[in-house]
Amino acid sequence: MFDWDLKKRVIAASVGVSLVFIAGFYSFVIFQPVAKTDKIYKSALKDFNEGNYQNAYYLFSKVGMFSNLKPVAIYHRAECAKMLGDDKSEIKQYEILFNNYPKNVLSTKSRYLAAQKLLNDKPQIAKKYFEYIISNAPNTDYAIASEYYLGVILKNKYKNEKIVSQSVKDDVQNCFRHYLKKAPSGRLALNAVENWLEFVDDISKDDYLLMARTCYLFNEYDKAKTILAKTDLNESWALDVKNSYALKDIQRAKFLTENGLQKHAQYVSEDDIIDAVDIYIKLVTEKPVERLLSLKPQKGMDYLLNLKCNNVSQNDKAACYSNLYLNYPNGRFSADALSNIFFAKIKSGDIQSAKKVGIDHLNKFPNTNSSPMVMFWLGKICEKTNNYEEYTHYYKSVINKYPDSYYAYRAYLRLRRIQGPLITSYINPQSVVYPYKYSKNNIIVKLVNLGDYDIVNEFAGDDEFIKSWVLYKKGDYSHSMLKARDAMEKIEDKPDKYDLRWRLVYPVIYYDEIQKHAQNTGNNAPLILSLIREESYFDPLAQSMVGASGLMQLMPFTANEISSKFGLGHAYLDLFNPSVNIKLGNYYYEFLRKSLEGYDISAIAAYNGGIGSLQKWKTSIHYNDTDEFVEEIPYPETKNYVKKVFRSYWNYIRIYSGNN
């Protein structure tokens, strides 16, 4: 007799084994160990980068369900499908991502890319996706671009209609107008202009001006010229100046500037006026500023007066800047004008008046570019009268409020009674790391450690320091440093020197090579590092318009002379080779320094302005100490260069050797 109980037990056991196997399999996939996930992801990324898209597509699917890498893996699957020409799979992966991970950073981008893909075949679905982005991610670049695509969808819908209602035309124009206002140099801007012109005939003068600006920004100067002819000259003359200059229509550029300043200045922005004036100065050799001042424009006079004051003799500066400040006390250049009045009074020996002006400046302009300069010189004034409490207060205030500035460096020297410009030749370089404290589960850090650099910017959002770090990890030191520098400039209250972001702003690169050649020549290694930072931003392939090349921006003729003078024996001089460039640059700097009695301030000035100019300044400028000499260097470029190099030097010392 058949044992039904036994059969039930066998079936139950078999089902149990199967369920255990299935549960084990899904448990492995869903609750995948982190190390296993990372290994799969890295292999998939390797295949993707090597063009093995089919295998990468498969491997990315094996990333565990609960891993924070899963949505990124789905996005990469869409990329693989795109490279394989499989539109259907690409769209499907995008939709899986934004439907299942709506709050993920890649969700908006995936919806945007899906909408682009559906634009021609399923425009209504694409329209729904674009509208969703504009509504739910309004402050993103994807929202701006979505405005453009909504205009294209609407235009395509009615392009074959013989009669199109004005309301439809208005809607199309609004889409393109919004895009051009927000992104005049955006990737789709020229397309927006083309589509707009193709669909609408009755375009306003203001809208033509928007189009002309975009054409100019894309170097489409002839097209910009044609469109500018349809604008209101009141509002377009400054742009027309720039476009005419680009077309080498010199007479028109000069005429438009003079006519515009005289009749239409009030209709354009101050920035546009400054651009037009700067072009005019390039074109007119005989007293261009005086010529424009004689026109007495309703707007831009303060900029013209500022230019005039920059070029008058030291004896006339106080009167010139006083006139500027009196007439434009709240203008863009008023803080700088008052700081120049302040310094002129110091030079004239009127210390009491200088102190009053300096205090007025700090009260009225507590946080401008000229504030640290005024604060430092108030300290020097008080130091001359032996007012210990006051001058230490001002010096410490500069260091505390503007810790990374040139004047913080000079204040530190005064407080420590250091006579020369060099604090130390020692720094302890630290590597550039992720600029914030993080946990091991930080997705950005994980992606970078896995080498998935290109996706990180999506997660970084508006954080320029993270983007800088990614560039650094990719070996693009120059753009990394510049991005971090600009981001730090925007921070009003600077972080303390231990903040990891400073390492991105002042990275220590090529330092072994710098140290080796600095020791051989008796140069200060951190100072040479600072010089390289300012000369080339650590780009070994940097080349100026006049031919200065490499990290230390050496002219080939100078490099040959130095090589011959010091018997360096280079059969050929590859100035784009970091080792060769740093070696020759050190010997050149040593030559300048020794030719100028060992003074590093003078050598740095000569490195930029030339040794002949430096020697001329030293005899023609009346100065009592190094601080006065730097302030009175007649070439603004060289004066700013000296300040920038020693600012960098100060920050390298501050960040990497513990000085406050």
CA distance 49 to 60: 13
Q: Give the pair of three-digit tokens for residue 354.
A: 């200088």
pTM (2 decimals)? 0.88
> Does residue 635 surpass a pLDDT of 50?
yes
Q: Mean pLDDT score of the chain, rounded to an integer?
A: 92
CA distance 526 to 50: 41
pLDDT of residue 315: 79
CA distance 543 to 554: 9
Which residues have a Cβ under 8 Å from the Cβ of 142 and sit 6 or more positions away?
108, 109, 112, 133
Which residues have a Cβ under 8 Å from the Cβ of 335 and sit 6 or more positions away?
361, 364, 365, 368, 369, 370, 371
> Does residue 14 surpass a pLDDT of 60?
no
CA distance 524 to 570: 24
* Whether the Cβ atoms of residue 94 and residue 133 lie closer than 8 Å to each other: no
Q: Name the more confident of 659 and 238.
A: 238
Exposed e or buried b for every residue in 246-256, given b needs 16+ CB within 10 A?
Answer: beebeebbbeb
Mean pLDDT value across residues 381-387: 91
Q: Give the pair of three-digit tokens for residue 197.
A: 């012109």
Mean pLDDT value across residues 483-503: 96
**543 DSSP β-pair partners:** 549
Domain residue ranges of the chain, discontinuous segments joined by +: 1-26, 34-157+167-200, 443-505, 511-657
Confidence band for 338, pLDDT divided at 50, 70 and 90: very high
Cα separation of the two ends of the chain: 96
Question: Which CATH superfamily groups domain 34-157+167-200?
Answer: Tetratricopeptide repeat domain (1.25.40.10)
> Does residue 20 surpass a pLDDT of 50?
no
Mean pLDDT value across residues 430-440: 83
> Does residue 25 surpass a pLDDT of 80?
no
DSSP state of 554: B
CA distance 223 to 232: 17
CA distance 478 to 468: 10
Highest mean pLDDT among 311-315, 442-446, 518-522: 518-522
DSSP state of 496: P
**Which residue type occupies 106?**
L
CA distance 28 to 173: 54
> Does residue 16 surpass a pLDDT of 70?
no
pLDDT of residue 21: 43
CA distance 206 to 534: 42
Confidence band for 230, pLDDT divided at 50, 70 and 90: very high
Q: CA 515 → CA 92, 290, 368, 605, 654, distances in Å?
A: 56, 50, 36, 22, 18
| 249 phi and psi angles, rounded to 5 deg | -90, 80
Taken as a whole, the chain contains a residue count of 660
Could you report the per-residue pLDDT of 104-133, keeping only the tens digit for each?
999 999 999 999 999 999 999 999 999 999
* Whether the Cβ atoms of residue 353 and residue 345 lie closer than 8 Å to each other: yes
CA distance 552 to 591: 14
| 543 phi and psi angles, rounded to 5 deg | -150, 130
SS3 (DSSP) at 269? coil
Q: Which one, of 469, 524, 504, 485, lies nearest residue 649 by Cα? A: 524
pLDDT of residue 1: 45
> Does residue 17 surpass a pLDDT of 50?
no
Could you report the per-residue pLDDT of 152-164, keeping only the tens digit for each?
999 999 988 888 8
pLDDT of residue 27: 46
Share of the chain above pLDDT 70, in %: 94
> Does residue 465 surpass a pLDDT of 90?
yes
**Given 3.30.1180.20, 3.40.190.10, 1.10.530.10, 3.40.50.2000, which CATH number is that of 511-657?**
1.10.530.10
CA distance 241 to 278: 10
The count of other CB atoms within 10 Å of the CB of residue 193 is: 26
> Does residue 380 surpass a pLDDT of 60?
yes
> Does residue 409 surpass a pLDDT of 60?
yes
Confidence band for 568, pLDDT divided at 50, 70 and 90: confident
pLDDT of residue 657: 85
Sign of CA dihedral 47, 51, 52, 53: positive
DSSP secondary structure string, 197-260? HHH-S---HHHHHHHHHHHHHTT-HHHHHHHHTTS-HHHHHHHHHHHHHHTT-HHHHHHHHHHH
Mean pLDDT value across residues 197-220: 96
Place of tokens 């006339």: 316
| 138 phi and psi angles, rounded to 5 deg | -65, -25
SS3 (DSSP) at 419? coil
